[in-house]
Structures are given as C-alpha cells and as structure tokens.
Amino acid sequence: MNYDLTIDKHNLGKFVSYYHPFLETTSDPRILYSFKSPEFKIIVYNSHKVLFQGKQAYEEYALWADHFGQDKVSPIDSTAYVNEYYANAVIGSDEVGTGDFFGPVVVCAAYVNPADYETLDELGVRDSKALSDKQIIAMGNELIQNVSYHVLVLSPEKFNELTNKGYNMNKIKAYLHNHAIKKMVQKTKKFDYVILDEFCSKENYFEYLKDEDAYKQIRFHTKAEGIHKAVAVASIIARYKFVLEMDRISKQIGIVLPKGSGPTADAIGKLIYLQHGIDFFQTIAKVSFKNMKRITGETE
C-alpha cells in the first residue's frame, strides 16, 4: 500500500534528518535518499516526490502531510474486502462519466483473483473516488499491464445519438455493462462470480436488455468497489480512460474541460457556446443534460 507527497526543497533537510537512522545506500540515479525499517520503506526521488511503502506507510505519510499542511488521502481499509467473495475469482464491472456534462461515458469490466491481491495492495487499489486524477493515471498505467479487462468508451456524439432515439442513462449503462461483461466472460477461462455496481434494480436492468442477449448470472451490489477488488480495479481503469479522453478533447479544442455538471461546467459551456455555437456540443458534451439549457439561456 503506497502513499506519496512532495516536499519543498527547504524542508528536505528536516525530513532526511528525521529518518537518518534508517538511511540505506541506493544506486538508482532517480533516487536522492532511501530509508528502510521493518515497518516502512521511504524513497525520496530527485523530483522531491516521497513514496511511503510498508505496514506503517500511512502513519508515516500522514505525519508529514499534517506537518506540511497538505491534504491527506484516506487510508486503505484492507478489511473492507474480507467478505463472502474474498476467496473468489471475480469479474467486476463499473462505470464513470455518467454525471459529467462534458466527455464520454466509460464502462470497464475487469477480472481479479486472490492471487492478484498482493500486487493490487502494493499499487494502493481502493475506491477510485478517494484517488486524485494524478493517482488514477499512475495506477491506471500499471493496472492495464497487470490485469485482464475490457473497456468501452462511449463518445458524447454516440451518447447523444442514443438519447435522441429515446435511450435514458440507465439503459445506456445497461447496454455497455452487458457488452463489457460478455466480453470478459468469453475471455476469462475460470471465474466464480460477476459483480456489478448496482445503478438500478436487477429487474429494471434486465428489462432494459429484454431485446438483447443478456448475461444473467450477475450479483448486484451497491458500493461494489468495497465488495471486491475486481470492481475497484474496473472503476479505476474506467476513470483512467475517462481522464485520458477528457485531456484529449481539451487539447483538441484548446479549452480545459471541467468534470462534473456544476457551475464550472456551465461557465465553460457558455464560453464555448459564444465561440462555436450550439452544434459544437454534439461532439464534446451530453446535450440532454440540464446544463445545455442553462448555457443557451432556455428555461428549464
């Protein structure tokens, strides 16, 4: 379980002095200092980024985050996953982007078995909502190389086409999850359960898919990211792909697009509307959201 923060140059001496009894030699040119004890390992990189690892990693990290007045991430509760599914190999599915005016909807299904737990713990896998975008990018880069997954990125343009045909958000999510899950079931030789982060009732989910070849053997759970690491991994990869796509669209149009659907989205939307007009939103935003009426000045 890893945690990190960045230390200003003028505070580095104090930090090094504190851990000096645990100093170890290192030949890695990227590393300024390395400290090791039975309870923790701490690495100070040339960039002054500090990585905390080991059983006491969070305590050491929290000590310095508090000392320097930096916001702390939440500790990883490893007991959250000790439940009926702990010993099982699971395909987990989750989505992101459904509450964001700009950008795509992304669904990911991922496979995790108990042999993966140690690696996932070392990466710090937990509820993606407790992770910053920077942490998501770093963790996503590792996860896509270490786990089996299938991800679907539904562009704003395609989302708008579907809503114009009468699809609501939950029906769109059901279609995407069903597709991703079926792909993983085909790909995965052996698994025990499929767990879906519940966004609607089981009855409604299968009603949305009544005309489809729906995979039926699904366990539905609310807050499923805390039920099994497969769902947590799926959520992180989905958000990783979402962040990358938001960055791509932002660079393409020359404006940093905000996440969410609050006042900041409205403000940026009004700027885009003045510069490019309403049709421009078809390829960058979910135009069925109420933001669109606020941006154009229509009455909701």
Closest-CA residue to 287 (of 199, 170, 152, 164): 164
**Would you place residue 53 in the very low, low, confident or very high pLDDT band (cuts 50, 70, 90)?**
confident
Question: For residues 180 and 151, is the Cβ–Cβ distance under 8 A?
Answer: yes
Whole-model pTM? 0.77
How far is it, in rounded angstroms, from Cα 119 to Cα 269? 41
Residue 173 has, within 13 A of its CA and on its CB side, a CA count of 19
The mean pLDDT of the chain is 92
User: Between β-strands 23-24 and 90-96, what pairing exists: parallel, antiparallel or unpaired?
Assistant: unpaired
How far is it, in rounded angstroms, from Cα 66 to Cα 234? 31
Whole-angstrom CA distances from 228 to 30, 109, 115 are: 35, 13, 13
- Interior/surface letters 191-212, b for 16+ CB within 10 angstroms, e for the rest: bebbbbbebbeeeebeebbeee
Average the pLDDT over 83-93 and give the result: 93
- Residues 184-199 have pLDDT tens digits of 999 998 999 999 989 9
Specify the CATH number for 3-72; select among 3.30.70.2190, 3.30.310.10, 3.40.50.620, 3.20.20.70.
3.30.310.10
Question: What would you measure as the largest C-alpha separation in the chain, in angstroms?
Answer: 67
17-31, 48-62, 208-222, 282-296: range with lowest mean pLDDT: 48-62
Model pLDDT, residue 118: 83
Model pLDDT, residue 123: 83
Q: Which CATH superfamily is domain 80-248 in?
A: Ribonuclease H-like superfamily/Ribonuclease H (3.30.420.10)
Model pLDDT, residue 82: 75
Rounded-to-10 torsion of CA 276, 160, 95, 53: -10
The residue to which tokens 């009732």 are assigned: 201
Continuous H helices in 57-213 = 57-67, 117-123, 133-146, 156-164, 169-187, 202-208
Q: Which two tokens stand for residue 25?
A: 């030699």
Confidence check: pLDDT of 29 > 70 = yes
Confidence check: pLDDT of 129 > 80 = no
Closest-CA residue to 113 (of 85, 141, 88, 137): 88
